[in-house]
Amino acid sequence: MAKWQYNVRVIDNQHIIDSEIVVHRFEVDTWADDAIIAAGAPLYEWEQSEAGKWVKEHAVEVPRWERFQDPYAFKHKFAIIARLTEQDQTYFRLKFQ
């Protein structure tokens, strides 16, 4: 089970809590090592979308991506992970998910 890490910051006498969430997932059909190259287009398309631009603007840190291999489907799965405040996470889930 994943261990969630929350950061608590005090800004202007207010406690701001942030944590990481998966903001986008996609798969690439490839068996070779060029999965990262094949993932370039979907990553770029998401970055240029309304959700991608919003996440880049509101993320506490630069969003990152992770790759997972699915040995049964012969696919590479990618997840984009961003650290957002609780308020921004709520907004993101309501508007984009």
Residue environment code for 5-40, b if the CB has 16+ CB neighbours within 10 A, otherwise e: eeeeeeeeeeeeebebbebbebebeeeeeebeeebe
Q: Does the structure show a pLDDT above 60 at 2?
A: no
H/E stretch holding 28 reads: strand 14-28
Q: Does the structure show a pLDDT above 60 at 1?
A: no
What gap in Å lies between CA 88 and CA 97, rounded to an integer?
A: 13
Tens digits of residue pLDDT in 41-75:
899 999 999 999 999 999 999 999 999 888 788 88
